[in-house]
Amino acid sequence: MEALGARRGLLISAAVVVALVVALFVWNQEQALVIGVLTGSAYGLVALGLVLVYKSSGVFNFAQGEFGGVALVTLYLLHGNGIPYGLAVVGALLAAILVGVLAEFIVVRPLFEAPRVTLLVASAGVALLAIAIQVWFFDSQGRSIAKAFNRTDRLTVLDVQIADQRLWLIATLVLLAVVLGLFFTRSDLGLAVVGASQEPTATELVGISVRRLSTFTWALAALLGGLAAVIAVPHNASFTPGVMTSVYLIPAFTAAVLGGMTSLPGAIVGGVLVGILQSVATSAPIFQDGGALAIPGTPGTLIVFVVLVAVLVVKPSGLLGKVA
């Protein structure tokens, strides 16, 4: 029965994707497809971290964006002071992990038994605090970080150039999804994490420390957040405090929900879908001023919202998620 449901979910998603692609070509918006994959891969990477935390502690982690923010600031400082790029990236990721562990220690542990929504609010508090400290110590000026890879013309799809930095992002994303998927289904540690989220008492009885697993999970999520920021943001030439939360976090949440909060590949699929939706909404003439369905302001926001609500009403477990 469950296999049937899962297969049905896969079929539905495949059908949706095919329909979307065809529609885009018909409407001359095929470039939106490519642009959507590019921007969506960033959302997907952040969404991976969100799904990870949800799978293991049932929490919507609002601080996921700011784990990345910390990494960005660290990278900027280290690289700006002359440290070679590779080392600076490692340092940035370590800083992110540190913050993740700190957050877990100070906020998640005391609230272990509390309702999940309380934890959501608490994580939002952590994110806000992180942003406030950034503004305090660095003011709101934009800053720029150099890219890791500078070449931009290696690959061109449908007339859209794909920079090496973007390729790095997509490669990391796919690699991580595969590794994490294997981790959660094949390795002992991964199984323990999933088990701890579903049956904490039983897990403790078997001798596994649920608390230690929680720390590990949050450290891993922080690492993912840091990776997302460090790879995706330098591509855009400048960042301001709070950019990870204001620009990436909400589409990432939508992506995670779309794909299914319990499904890692779903996070990627969701991310790409959200990217494409945003891109189409922005460039399709039908949504611009004067079009038949003209949407004031940023059309992408409304479209994403409508899709989110539709998914939650029709199939709350998302495209690839399993019914809990």
Partner 1 sequence: MTRRLVIMLLPLAVVAAACGQKSGVAGTDAAASEDSGAPAATAAPITAAPPVAPAASAAPAAAATTAAPGATAAPAAAATTAAPGATAAPGTTLSSTPVTGSVAESTGATTGTEAAPASTAPAAPVGPYEAGDNDTAGVTDADIVIGIHAPVTGASPIPQTSFDTGKDIYWQFLAANVPDQLFGRSVRVVFRDDEFNPQKAVQVCREMVEGEGAFLLVGAGGADQITACAQYAAENDIPYLSAGVNEGGLEDLSTYFATSLTYAEQAPLIVDQLSSAGATEIGLVVADTPSFDDAYEALQAAVEEAGLTIAYETRINKTAGEAEQLSVVQQLKNVNATAVVLLSSPLVFIGLSNQGVNQGFTPTWIGPGVTSGLNAVTNFGCPGVDTGTFFNPTPQMDVIDTLDPQFTAAYAEFGGGTAADDIGVGLWSLNKLLAMMFEATGPELGRAAFMNTLVTSPGFDNGIYSPVVFTADDHFGGTGAHLLDADCAIKQYTTAEQFVEVG
Partner 2 sequence: MTVTSADGAGPVQEVLVDDVAPAARDRARPGLLGWIPRLVVWAGLAYVVLVLPLGRSAIDVQTFTRAACYAIVALSLNVLLGYVGQISLGHAAFVGIGAFMSAYMMTVQGQSFWVGVLAAAGIGAAQALVLGGVSLRIRGLYFALVTLAYGLVAEQNIFQIASFTGGGAGQRAPKPDWFESEWRYYYLCLAFLALVLFLDWRLMKTKGGRALLALRENPRVASTFGINVRMATLFAFVVSGTFAGLAGALIAHNDLSVSADVWNFNLSLVFIIMTVVGGLRSRYGLVIGGAFFALMPYLLHQIPGLENGLSKIPAPFDLTPELAPLVIGPLLLLVNLIQFPGGIGQQVRPVARWLGGHRFDPHDRGLKEVQITDVRA
Give the pairing type, strands 160-162 and 155-157. antiparallel
Query: Is the CB of 34 or the CB of 281 nearer to partner 2?
Result: 281
Cα–Cα distance for residue pair 311/289, rounded to 1 Å: 27
Residue 238 contact among partner 2, partner 1, none, beta carbon within 5 to 8 Å by kind: partner 1
Closest CA to 271 of 68, 37, 24: 37
Choose between 225 and 242: whose C-beta lies nearer to partner 1.
242
Q: Does 159 bind partner 1 (CB under 8 A)?
A: yes
Work out which of 136, 153, 159, 292 binds partner 2, going by CB under 8 A.
Answer: 136
Report how far apart, in Å, the C-alpha atoms of 125 and of each of 101, 119, 174 are.
16, 9, 31
Per-residue b or e along 109-140, where b marks 16 or more CB atoms closer than 10 Å to that residue's CB: eebeeeeeeebeebbbebbeebbeebeeeeee
Q: Which stretch binds partner 1 (CB under 8 A): 13-21, 46-54, 132-140, 171-179?
A: 132-140
The contacts of residue 164 (CB under 8 Å, 6+ apart) are: 147, 149, 150, 151, 152, 154
Q: State the nearest-atom distance from the C-beta of 203 to partner 2, in Å.
A: 17
Is residue 2 a contact point for partner 2 (CB under 8 A)? no
Q: What is the DSSP letter of 9?
A: H
The yes or no reply on residue 141 touching partner 1 (CB under 8 A) is yes
Question: Which of 137, 153, 186, 292 lies at the binding interface for partner 2 (CB under 8 A)?
Answer: 137
- For residue 26, the minimal CB distance to partner 2 (Å) is 26
Angle at CA 261, nearest 5°, toward 40 and 119? 110
Give the whole-angstrom CA distance, residue 95 versus residue 89: 10
Q: Which residues pair with 143 in a beta bridge?
A: 239
Residue 31 as a binder of partner 1 (CB under 8 A): the answer is yes
Which of residues 83, 98, 133, 174 is near partner 2 by CB under 8 A? 133
Answer yes or no whether residue 53 interacts with partner 2 by CB under 8 A. Answer: no
Question: What is the Cα–Cα distance from 13 to 232, expressed in whole angstroms?
Answer: 26
Site residues (CB under 8 A) for partner 2, limited to 147-166: none
| CA separation for the pair 260, 255 (Å, rounded) | 8
* Per CB under 8 A, 283 contacts partner 1: yes
Distance between CA atoms of 35 and 157, rounded to whole angstroms?
10
Q: Decide: 93 and 223 in contact? Cβ < 8 Å.
A: yes
Q: Give the residue, chosen from 1, 137, 297, 313, that forms a contact with partner 1 under the rule CB under 8 A.
A: 297
Shortest Å, Cβ 130 to partner 2: 9
Our CB check for partner 2 shows the closer of 183 and 287 to be 287
- Angle (CA) 296-25-9 rounded to 5° is 85
Q: Which option in partner 2, partner 1, none does residue 143 bind, with CB closer than 5 to 8 A by kind?
A: partner 1
Rule CB under 8 A: which residues touch partner 2? 58, 60, 106-107, 110-111, 114-118, 120-122, 124-126, 128-129, 131-133, 135-139, 246, 250, 253-254, 257, 261, 295-299, 301-302, 304-305, 308-309, 312-313, 316, 324
Rule CB under 8 A: which residues touch partner 1? 31-32, 35-36, 38-39, 135, 139-144, 152-153, 159-161, 163, 235-238, 240, 247, 275, 278-279, 282-283, 288-289, 297-298, 300
